[in-house]
Amino acid sequence: KESNGFPETFLWGSASAAYQIEGAASEDGKGVSNWDQFVRIPGKTFKATTGDLAVDHYHRFKEDIALMAEAGLKTYRFSIAWTRIIPDGNGEVNEKGLAFYDAIIDECIKYGIEPMVTVYHWDMPQALQDQYGGWENRQIVKDYVRYATTLFEHFGDRVHYWITMNEQNVFTSLGWLTGMHPPGKVMDQKMFYQVNHHANMAHAYSVLELKKRYPDAHVGASFAYTPGYAWDCKPINAMAKADYDDLQNYFWMDVYAYGRYPKAAIRYLESNGIHIQMEAEDQKIMKQAAALIDFMGVNYYQTAAIEYNPIDGVGMSTEVNTTGKKGTAKEEGIPGLYKKPSNPYLEKTDWDWTIDPMGIRMCCRDITSRYDLPIVISENGLGAFDKLEEDNVIHDPYRIAFLEAHLKELKKAIDDGCDVWAYCTWSFTDLLSWLNGYQKRYGFVYVDREEDDTTAKLNRYKKDSFYWYQNVIKTNGKDL
Ligand code: GCO
């Protein structure tokens, strides 16, 4: 059948996060974040890489945004560093921090690029961690909402797309279960769920504050959605997939879209002695916020195969592939419920992430039928080893193939009736990978630096994929 293609208003974009690109870690009054501190613990990141310099976007944002304009981007998704706006988390507002993001936003607007702002992309003021344990304490809700409201009031006249939380499922799992992200706690399950509830309330109250001020603003949260496939048609594996969905997908998306936790997940937690502490109004506020969100943000990278996991089966793995050496990832699961064996039908990236273009269509279809919400693909991309060759060219046909295959499936999702507003690749320039330094690159623009290179020139070079994306945007995806 004939495809209608991408809508005329489709927002072609790319995404980044403050800590991964900005650098200037202590300039212009910026406070210390949890990440500034965490990366200094030996063994936490590849070659002890820090974001102190990152790709120096703080000083080169004009060059970077000019490149985005050259590529034809319609939107640029970036995050704001809480520590630039309120350096100690809940004290004075730092005017220089506001001025930096004013400049970014104005630069985007100058080129007709719609700014899409992520309020929280994992870098929390360390002062709040020290004062009261950060996300572990209910106080974080008030402090987050004050920070978010400061952004809404200052930037709301120019920013029409807001993302409250980036991958809450990831930063909480890695922070309180695998210990790979700050605060580095391992299998603290009770706290994991409590922290999530605090983040949910921070999200919910900030949605209400935004809509009070800017009822027409578009808001959502970005969820790292890994759709599951039942291993086979054995009923117990189909049930394992239902458990996986309730505990690992709908546990977040149902909160954003419906304002409630999946019943079976809550029953499971309670039967394991985990009771989420809530305040009297919480359920009401969650529902109010859910009724106000405009889209579901989806960061799509991969799918998972799901199989029943016996009670003495595999647990959560704290050893994942951070080396880029294929085949080093371990199977993970929740004993008694499910595990995620490697899917034999799919190729994998060097970091053992399955490559599954159809998964992006699955995400869209599932969100459309379950929530009937518009969708913003807030991230999709391929982390790979890229090579700068003579004459400063970078041939990345694997990235083009990856993105093209995903966009073809996204187009089918649109033809299926899904209301997809935007597609942001991760990322535009290369940037710091939280745990992998600079060996795992995602950008259309190569940044000339290595981990331990303090004299890096940080020159920007366009990869082949840059020109490919430029053409996709110019033709509004017509040839896909
Ligand atoms: C990495 C990760 C990140 C994430 C992003 C999530 O290599 O560090 O892949 O780049 O994709 O921050 O929102």
Q: How far apart are CA 430 and CA 412, in angstroms?
A: 29
pLDDT band at 59 (very low <50, low <70, confident <90, very high): very high
Give the closest residue (by CA) to ligand 1 atom 11.
Answer: 426
* Mean pLDDT value across the chain: 96
Q: How far apart are CA 317 and CA 94, in angstroms?
A: 40
Q: How far apart are CA 250 and CA 453, in angstroms?
A: 42
Is the Cβ–Cβ distance between 395 and 140 less than 8 Å? no
Q: Does 166 contact ligand 1 (Cβ within 6 A)?
A: yes
379 is annotated as an active-site residue: yes
Q: How far apart are CA 219 and CA 197, in angstroms?
A: 19
How do residues 269-315 score in pLDDT, each as one tens digit? 999 999 999 999 999 999 999 999 999 999 999 999 999 999 998 88
Q: Which of 39, 118, 321, 442 to mutate to test the pocket of ligand 1 (most atoms within 8 A of CB)?
A: 442
Whether the pLDDT of residue 187 is over 80: the answer is yes
SS3 235: helix
Per-residue model confidence (pLDDT) at position 52: 93
pLDDT band at 98 (very low <50, low <70, confident <90, very high): very high
**How many angstroms is it from 20 CA to the middle of ligand 1?**
9
**How many angstroms is it from 107 CA to the middle of ligand 1?**
25
187, 190, 192, 194: CA torsion to nearest 10: -170
Please name each of the domains of the chain with its CATH number.
11-474 (3.20.20.80)
Ligand 1 atom index nearest CA of 121: 13
104, 106, 111, 113: CA torsion to nearest 10: 70
Lowest mean pLDDT among 150-154, 312-316, 426-430, 433-437: 312-316
140-147's contacts with Cβ under 8 Å and 24+ in sequence apart are 140/198, 140/202, 141/198, 141/201, 141/202, 141/205, 142/90, 143/89, 143/90, 144/120, 144/202, 144/206, 145/202, 145/205, 145/206, 145/209, 146/86, 146/90, 147/82, 147/85, 147/86, 147/89, 147/119
Is the Cβ–Cβ distance between 445 and 428 less than 8 Å? yes
* pTM (global) more than 0.95: yes
Ligand 1 atom index nearest CA of 379: 13
Whether the pLDDT of residue 317 is over 80: the answer is no
**How many angstroms is it from 39 CA to the middle of ligand 1?**
15
- At 141, list the tokens: 């809700």
Q: Does 426 contact ligand 1 (Cβ within 6 A)?
A: yes
- For residue 338, the surrounding DSSP H or E stretch is strand 338-339
- 442: nearest Cα among 456, 458, 450, 431: 431
Give the closest residue (by CA) to ligand 1 atom 2.
Answer: 433
Q: Does 122 contact ligand 1 (Cβ within 6 A)?
A: no
Give the closest residue (by CA) to ligand 1 atom 9.
Answer: 433
**Cβ density class 225-238: b for 16+ within 10 Å, e for less:** bbbbbbbeeeeebe
Give the closest residue (by CA) to ligand 1 atom 1.
Answer: 433
Per-residue model confidence (pLDDT) at position 1: 63
- Which residue is catalytic, options 22, 114, 167, 379? 379
**How many angstroms is it from 436 CA to the middle of ligand 1?**
10
Q: How far apart are CA 225 and CA 228, in angstroms?
A: 9
- Give the mean model confidence (pLDDT) for residues 188-192: 96
Q: Does 433 contact ligand 1 (Cβ within 6 A)?
A: yes
pLDDT band at 451 (very low <50, low <70, confident <90, very high): confident
Is the Cβ–Cβ distance between 411 and 454 less than 8 Å? no
- At 464, list the tokens: 């082949």
Per-residue model confidence (pLDDT) at position 225: 98
Ligand 1 atom index nearest CA of 301: 11
**How many angstroms is it from 267 CA to the middle of ligand 1?**
32
Is the Cβ–Cβ distance between 102 and 40 less than 8 Å? no
Residue type, 175: G
- Give the mean model confidence (pLDDT) for residues 110-117: 98
DSSP states of 412-476: HHHHTT--EEEEEEE-SB---BTTTBTTSB--SEEE---TT-TT----EEEBHHHHHHHHHHHTT
**How many angstroms is it from 433 CA to the middle of ligand 1?**
6
* pLDDT > 70 in the chain, percent: 100
The partner residues of 166 in beta bridges, in order of sequence, read: 222
> Sign (positive/negative) of CA torsion 280, 283, 288, 290?
positive
Q: Does 171 contact ligand 1 (Cβ within 6 A)?
A: no
Burial class from Cβ neighbours inside 10 Å (0-12, 13-18, 19+) for residue 195 reads buried
Contact partners, residue 163, CB within 8 Å, separation at least 6? 77, 116, 117, 118, 119, 219, 220, 221, 222, 297, 376, 378
Contact partners, residue 91, CB within 8 Å, separation at least 6? none
SS3 65: helix
40, 123, 200, 426: CA torsion to nearest 10: -110
Q: How far apart are CA 27 and CA 331, in angstroms?
A: 42
Whether the pLDDT of residue 325 is over 90: the answer is no
How do residues 329-384 score in pLDDT, each as one tens digit? 888 899 999 999 999 999 999 999 999 999 999 999 999 999 999 999 999 999 99
Asked if the peptide bond before residue 87 counts as cis, ω within 30 degrees of 0, the response is no
Ligand 1 atom index nearest CA of 432: 8
